[in-house]
Amino acid sequence: MLGGFPFLKICLSLFCSRVTENAKNSLASLKRENPRLEPTLAIIQAHNDQSIQETNKNFAKEVGLRVIHICLPEGSTKNEIVGEILRLNEDPNVQGLALDLPESLYSSKILNAVKPEKDVDGLSSVNLGRLVHGDDCLVPPTVCAVMELLGDIGGKKVLLVGVRGAEAAALQSVLQRQGATVLSCHCKAPQLQSELGDADTVVFGSAKPSDVPASWIKPGATVIYGAHDLLSEKHSCGQQNDPAAEKTVGSLAVAMRMQNMVKNLERWIWSQKHRKWDFHRLKLQPLSPVPSDIEISRAQSPKAVDVLAKEIGLLTDEIEIYGQTKAKVRLSLLERLKDQPDGKYVLVAGITPTPLGEGKSTVTVGLVQALTAHLNINSFACLRQPSQGPTFGVKGGAAGGGYAQVIPMEEFNLHLTGDIHAITAANNLLAAAIDARILHENSQSDKSLYNRLVPVVNGVRGFSPIQLARLRRLGINKTDPGTLTEEEISKFARLDIDPSTITWQRVVDTNDRFLRKITVGQGNTEKGFARQAQFDIAVASEIMAILALTTSLQDMKERLGRVVVANDKKGQPVTAEDLGVTGALAVLMKDAIKPTLMQTLEGTPVFVHAGPFANIAHGSSSVLADKIALKLVGEKGFVVTEAGFGADIGMEKFFNIKCRASGLVPSVVVLVATVRALKMHGGGPNVTAGAPLKKEYTEENLQLVADGCCNLQKQIQIAQLFGVPVVVALNVFKTDSPAEIDLVCKIAKESGAFDAVPCNHWSAGGKGALKLAQAVEKAVNQKNSFKYLYNLELPIAEKIRIIAQKVYGAQDIELSPVAQSQVDRYTQQGFGNLPICMAKTHLSLSHQPERKGVPTGFILPISDVRASIGAGFIYPLVGTLWPGTCSALSCRARHSCSKAAGKQRRGNMQWCTGSRVNPFLCAPEKHHAAGTAYV
């Protein structure tokens, strides 16, 4: 028998103390390495035994764990218990799950409902299978307790009496591995007496049956009594009538449970840091000649998006499914993975492109297909959502192309999950609020306005939080609406918007040239308050730029509140917060803030989120998509994202604007080039969208290629300004000769690129980008001394000058009178410390699209300067570029030039001063002819 009661009590207490102390020390070490770790064990209980709760809570508190009990009523069905298990399985705040149930409920259906990675009791079939096969797994705490009590049992005979189910399988496996001979017997079996008389150790699954006399047990044998899971305080060990012994045995199993919880945490943390995705790629069978993009897309059968989500480690409650192939991902993921190290951050940029584009999106997709589907490295692509404007225009869609594209292509390019529609609704709500406020202020007294703004509700009048904030900004420190003076009421109620300064326009996501310039307020109800306005393309809205740069729902709300829509008649900015619509805008955008999960042709994950222009905005997908993807790929994974236009525009803005907003540090730049673009920069004829290429582009011409590589060299140098390693990806076309390809790669490496590789992903999928993927994998290990190009504290004009001289190669800048006036105004209003977002043609390093190669010695003309205060940048308008360029709708051609407008000549530039608000350079039609287009 197990020794005398005092000895047994002391030994078991020592066992418990040792186990608890070890678990406590291990958990403390984990918390030192992961200071934000808040480990939580959930225990589902379906009986009224409060002593079990107390025992669990006491041990958990001593170890440093948080334990929550889910107490289901007695008589709960298996389905009810399973439902609760499934809920806790998907709770990211719960790392461990245990069951305290009546013995009749321990079925395989319930035990296997627990996720193996949360199963601290180790009784699921997955864990038992690992245990039987000798794999690394958690041993059930009941088994651990028994083994601790038994000590060395090598060569002994162990009899299990009335031990059933998963516990019996686990105990038998562990005993046999320790060298014991194990037999199992039912407590009513006729051979029980003989088996008891022959066993060195007896483990009863419950209290010793009353009809089994002690004389049946072999003298000197060790006997352990217990219920099904040895956790109940009613369990017994040794002699049944010793309450102290009974309690201590149950407590030892509870201590083992807490130890298992800590081990589970260690594995969870390790898996978060080092986990390879359980990824299954979609097979490609590339055809030659390569079919159209839409044919390729429709020929592939994508995975169900919930399957893809599970493969990359998303929990069920972290996705919102839209159909079969796309899903929104909730921001709660960032909280769950907050201690997860980020992966490597890769930016795809390009040389100065032809009007046809050089394939940055295609390279982005091909690279992640190579990394994930072929090299088995966790990787994510983060792409912008295209607007309907270019999709139905010359540019077309933006899903990539050939065998390197996002599928389904139609869903990617049209509507997606409605983000652009949400932006349209929010933008137009704000536009309506501006005109409504002007109308009411023009037609009502101060008192009437005040009563509308602060109405009596149920006999009580009170300020809303947003109104209290406005009062504080006005210097009125009052909270009772009845105590404001007449002067304070007027100050509070009237925004006094100057209609001529309104910069906030209505938007629609369609090319509609007849909405470029409109007159609003012509209805009889508007009382004659008509004014000229316009529609922009929806994605040109500042709300799109805000969506792309925001880091949280709260941050987005604050940014929306800071949006400046006009000036008042004293020249001070009027914001969305002043109009009181910030909360409404945020509600409209509450789903749009979540990135959309899709997949490539080879089934690798893609986030599609936000689509700001690369001229009047920064031209990159969202900060949130990048942040979430960097957590999901893990420390050794890659997130590949894209910057619009050439490196001189998109990459510069990515680093100086987006990286400032996100705090993320890029690992490497992939610079996309094509032989045809280099030939154009070397003096080749103009390239026109829709027209056949001239023979210079379809036949070998090494001289043109060599001459045009000056642009590639310049773009490499621009990347080096920021201290980031560069890999050149030569996007190969079938007309490129081997000699031309070799020449480009040679010159690129001689010019400072870490590597330069040809890519055939368009025709071969990820397999065609393997060399690029391997080069990127090596490049991220190079020295990275990332730095911003300028300090934000510098004057606005000086920041513009730094970009013009260091990036574009300009000799200097020249500001128009209007531009200088705007710079002075923004500085006076306190916006001078914002980063700069240059609105410039993408077809040349200069402001003149026809100047190819590397222009030098030019003066960069700044026609106007505007601000997106909510997004957080100043955007100067360069040369003849118009904001929101060149969809039929988005061109803001609202200041037609005429002799009556008046002209002023400055140096080599001719300025139009025909409007007192935002004059532009003359002849906007020239910028269409020059082929300026947006991305």
Residue-wise DSSP of 209-272: PTTS-GGGSPTT-EEE---SSS-STT---SSTT-HHHHHHHHHHHHHHHHHHHHHHHHHHHHHH
pLDDT over threshold 70, residue 381: yes
Rounded average pLDDT over 381-405: 80
Of the ranges 72-86, 417-431, 867-881, 918-932, which is most confident? Answer: 417-431
- Determine the pLDDT at residue 934: 28
Token output for 251: 């407590």
In whole angstroms, what is the distance from residue 813 CA to residue 804 CA?
7
Which pLDDT belongs to residue 394? 58
Residue among 59, 762, 858, 882 flagged as catalytic? 762
590 has catalytic annotation: no
Which residue is catalytic, options 336, 360, 506, 840? 360
Question: Between these two residues, 77 and 804, which has the higher pLDDT value?
Answer: 804
Distance in angstroms (rounded) separating the CA atoms of residues 538 and 561 = 19
Most confident of 17-26, 88-97, 710-719: 710-719
Q: Are 564 and 497 in contact (CB under 8 A)?
A: no
Amino acid 668: pLDDT: 97
Q: Which of 220-234, 309-323, 503-517, 860-874 shows the highest mean pLDDT?
A: 860-874
Query: Would 7-229+246-270 and 420-589 be classified into the same CATH topology?
Result: no
Predicted local distance difference test score (pLDDT) of residue 274: 63
Residue type, 529: F
Closest alpha carbon to 823 in 796, 801, 783: 796
From 201, 354, 362, 372, active-site residue: 362
**CB atoms near residue 734 (< 10 Å):** 11
pLDDT of residue 667: 96
Please indicate whether residue 380 is annotated as part of the active site: no
For the 420-589 domain, the top CATH level (class) is alpha beta
Q: Which of 278, 321, 241, 247 is nearest to 116 (CA)?
A: 278
Is beta strand 596-600 parallel, antiparallel or unpaired with respect to 404-407? antiparallel
Query: What is the pLDDT confidence band of residue 165, given thresholds at 50, 70 and 90?
Result: confident
Is 645 known to be catalytic?
yes
Of 43-52, 188-197, 343-352, 512-521, which one has max mean pLDDT? 343-352
In CATH, the architecture of 7-229+246-270 is 3-Layer(aba) Sandwich (3.40)
Quickly state the pLDDT bin for 35 (edges 50, 70, 90).
confident
- Taking CB atoms within 8 Å and a gap of at least 24, the contacts of 52-57 are 52/100, 52/231, 52/232, 52/233, 55/231, 55/233, 55/250, 55/251, 55/254, 56/254, 56/257
Cα dist from 791 to 285, 377, 540, 771, whole Å = 50, 37, 27, 37
Written as one letter, the residue type at 369 is: Q
Residue 858 among the catalytic residues: no
pLDDT of residue 908: 35
Report the chain's mean pLDDT, rounded to a whole number: 85
CATH architecture of 796-878: Roll (3.10)
- pLDDT score of 4: 36
Q: Which candidate in 156, 208, 303, 395 is catalytic?
A: 395
Spatial CA neighbour of 719 closest among 643, 818, 820, 793: 643
Q: What are the structural domain ranges in the chain?
A: 7-229+246-270, 332-397+593-780, 420-589, 796-878
The predicted structure's pLDDT at residue 3: 37
**Tokens 């409650």 belong to which residue?**
317
384 is catalytic: yes
- Active-site choice (5, 392, 733, 786): 733
pLDDT confidence band for 9 (50 / 70 / 90): very low
**Residue 442 parent element (H or E):** helix 419-443
- 841 has which bridge partners? none
The pLDDT score that the predictor gives to residue 561 is 96
505 vs 690, residue with greater confidence:
505
- Determine the pLDDT at residue 751: 96
Give the tens place of pLDDT for each residue, 819-861. 999 999 999 999 999 999 999 999 999 999 999 999 999 999 9
Catalytic residue among 166, 227, 614, 810: 614
pLDDT tens readout for residues 198-246: 888 888 876 556 677 888 888 888 888 655 443 333 333 333 333 333 3
With b meaning 16 or more CB within 10 Å and e meaning fewer, what string describes 405-416?
Answer: bbbbbebbbeeb
Write the CA distances from 192 to 156, 196, 306, 646, integer angstroms.
18, 6, 53, 84
Is 362 marked active-site?
yes
Query: Does the active-site annotation cover 629?
Result: no
Q: Is 360 a catalytic residue?
A: yes
Of 51-55, 528-532, 876-880, the one with minimum mean pLDDT is 51-55
**886 has a pLDDT exceeding 60:** no
Fold annotation for 332-397+593-780: Rossmann fold (3.40.50)
Average pLDDT over residues 430-453: 93
Question: Lowest-confidence range among 146-150, 413-417, 533-537, 906-910?
Answer: 906-910
pLDDT attached to residue 166:
84
Rounded mean pLDDT of 786-797?
Answer: 97
Q: pLDDT at position 431, please?
A: 96
**pLDDT tier, 673 (very low <50, low <70, confident <90, very high otherwise):** very high
In this structure, the strands spanning 222-224 and 201-204 are parallel
Which listed residue (257, 263, 330, 384) is catalytic? 384
Token pair in block for residue 492: 């509070």
Residue 694 CA to residue 715 CA, distance in Å, equals 25
